[in-house]
Structure formats: structure tokens, C-alpha cells
Structure 1
């Protein structure tokens, strides 16, 4: 087996540190504005994008970046806050859909005002649009198999 080159090791370390740094800063911005975490935003956004504002828990899990056991607890909390509701899956009572509520749509939009501004501050202010496109292309290479 060939050892990773120093450039690969450096790129890996910087990728992890960049993710932690930027996400941490965005989380801090959301918290200081009185909003919940990015996980809440991600779930609400994916539901909003889903057909009729609905997705199965599995579809949500595939769209966001955290484990299902965390998703179940998160959905419980979000349902308790009136942001989502669970409804029976048509034709299969064993399955369920998660549906975004009007309150969930409103929270996602309010969160975006802080989240979008944070993206501008922590990414757009540091990368040109061309550089952001290049970074996106390079990161896609790591995601695709």
C-alpha cells in the first residue's frame, strides 16, 4: 500500500479544520440570534424542498449529515415545538412521513437570514465566485465514487 503524500495529508487536515471552523462560526451566529442548530435548519430545508413538504425519515436521513438515531430525537423535539408533524404513509400504516408545518417554514426562513449572512461573511468574503466554484468541483470529486 502506498502511503498518502504530504500534500494529501495536509489537504485532509485542512478540510477537516475548515469544516469545523466554518460550521462552528455559523452555529455561533445562529445561537447568538436565538435560533436552534444547523441540524434543525437542514431538516426544515429538506422538508420544504420535498414533495408537498413531506419526506420519510429515511429520505431526511439521506439528505442531511447526521445519524438516524440523532434524527429521531431531533424530530421528536421539532414536533414538540410544532415545526413538523408525523403523518401516516399512504397505504402503509407501518411507515410515516414527516411534514413541515407553517411554523417550520417560518423558522427556516428566519434562520436563513442569519445563516445566509454568515455564509457571506465566512465564505463569500474569503473566496471569489470562481474559487468557490473550483472548491465545489474539487469537493465533489471526494464525494463521488
Structure 2
């Protein structure tokens, strides 16, 4: 808003960039979700949970931390973990020192499912995103998305920290 209460409308270039961003991210998320559903029988949200657990010490996180890392609500993560538990990919355990807290652990079966799904997923990420960009564009994309994320969360994201190969 301006000082006079008027919205700061997007100019033509900003509007074009905004609409392009929305289309690209929507199409990319849908393509990745379709591939995971087709090849691994799971939605992207489940894959993300398995990845976060695979990277945690002892493949275990508190449910609240898992929700934070996946940018999910506590109720949404609880529902997803219930479905993953039914498949035998994760298990929940009450924290021994604090019965109010629950841990989620990636099982050996869940790790095997993730290991089988990862190559196809990474191939799709490369195909639709990284193979289309130059190294400089990848760096710019990282800087731009880190800036957007920092504006939304107030957290600084260290661009030098590498992500694991199976993301």
C-alpha cells in the first residue's frame, strides 16, 4: 500500500513475471507429483517427508520438527504420517522423557522405497528445471528463491549448504 492507502499495482513487467512464476511453479509441482505417483505410488508430500527423515540423525525427527521442515501444519503432517505408517514406511514412538512429544522414524522399508523413488524423481527435476538453466541461472535462481524465502520466514538461508543428491 502507498501512503495514501492505494495498492502499489504491478507494472507490466512485474505482472508478466508474476504470472510466469505462478504457471512455472504450478506446472513443475504437478509434473513432479505425477511422476512420483506413477513411478513410486506416492505424492510429493510423502516423498518430502521420507527425504527429511532420511537426512535426520537416526532417521528420526520429532513430529513438530518434521512439520516445520516440510512446511506443513501439525495436523497435515500427522495425517500424512498415519498414511506412511500404514504402509510400513515410518513408525511413531512416544518420547521417553516427555510423553507429550512423538518421534517419527523412517523404517528400513521406507528407506528402500525412498532409494527406489529418488533416481526417477531427480531425473524429472533435472529434466524440467536444471537442464534448462545455465550454471549462472541456477545461482540466480538460488539467490532469488532464498531472498523470497527469507522475506516469508525471516530466516536466512545459507546458499553454500548443499542439498543431498536424493532431493
When normalised by structure 1's length, the TM-score is 0.91
Structure of greater relative contact order (alpha carbons < 8 Å, 6+ residues apart): 1
C-alpha separation in 1, matches of 2:102 and 2:92: 6
- Does 1:39 pair with 2:39? no
C-alpha separation in 2, matches of 1:78 and 1:31: 14
Q: Which runs of 5+ in 2 are unaligned?
A: 3-7, 152-167
Q: Which residue of 2 aligns with 1:100?
A: 106
Q: 1:71 aligns with which of 69, 74, 77?
A: 77
When normalised by structure 2's length, the TM-score is 0.80
Q: 1:23 aligns with which of 29, 38, 58?
A: 29
1:12-56 Cα offsets, whole Å, 9 max, x none, are 222221111011111122222242011111001101111211111
Q: Which has the larger radius of gyration?
A: 2
- Does 1:137 pair with 2:130? no
| Counterparts of residues 1-20 of structure 1 (less than 5 Å) | 1=2, 2-20=8-26
Aligned length: 145
Higher mean displacement: 8-17 or 47-56: 8-17
Moved >3 Å (runs of 4+): none
C-alpha separation in 2, matches of 1:6 and 1:127: 24
Rate the CA distance shift 1:66–1:10 in 2: closer, same or farther, 3 A.
farther
Rate the CA distance shift 1:7–1:67 in 2: closer, same or farther, 3 A.
farther
Structure with a larger share of its residues in helix: 1
1:118-140 Cα offsets, whole Å, 9 max, x none, are 01111122112221111111111
Over the aligned positions, Cα root-mean-square deviation in angstroms equals 1.5
